[in-house]
Amino acid sequence: MVVRFADVAQATFSPASGPKPGLVAGVGAAAVAAAAVIDPATVDDGPVICPFRLLTGLPCPGCGLTRSWVYLMHGHWSDSVAANPFGILTLLSVVAVVVAVSVALVRRRAVPELGGFTRSRLVWAVLAGWVVFGVVRAVAVLAGVATV
């Protein structure tokens, strides 16, 4: 099966089938490019855009991922881990999807589906760890041990 650029451009999200790989790759590539362009010296000065944090004042598991990616793209490893330790894993995952979809398109092969990936026990274990991390961090903020 040959996947045309038009097929990737029309990628959509369906709650039943999940996100299309082309859509994930496109958004992911844009996010990685943005992280490479944003100046790490100014990344902490932006507005809070997390709806959970705006409503509760507590960080969600994803809070700090943008800062983590920006720091990673500029070689600030310790700052990246401090912002969100899952930043490294999420950035590598997105880059892997972008590479897999790009290689498939260049070789004129079928774009790999994400279905098998989302059924992986490892993926679910990492997601569970990510949620536990978010809960522990929120409790630490409530207890005054950590700041947002």
> Mean pLDDT for each consecutive 10-residue tract of the chain (148 residues)?
50 58 88 95 88 92 93 96 94 90 87 70 88 93 86
SS3 of residue 51 by DSSP: helix
Q: Give pLDDT tens digits for 54-94.
A: 999 999 999 999 999 999 999 999 999 999 999 999 999 89
Sign of dihedral through CA atoms 97, 92, 135, 62?
negative
Based on the number of CB atoms within 10 Å of its own CB, is 9 exposed (0-12), middle (13-18) or buried (19 or more)?
Answer: exposed
Assess if residue 106 is contained within a domain.
Answer: yes
pLDDT of residue 24: 83
- What is the tally of structural domains in the chain? 1
Assess if residue 123 is contained within a domain.
Answer: yes
This prediction has a pTM of: 0.78
Residue numbers of the domain that contains 44: 5-142
Closest CA to 96 of 38, 1, 28: 28
Assess if residue 105 is contained within a domain.
Answer: yes
Assess if residue 148 is contained within a domain.
Answer: no
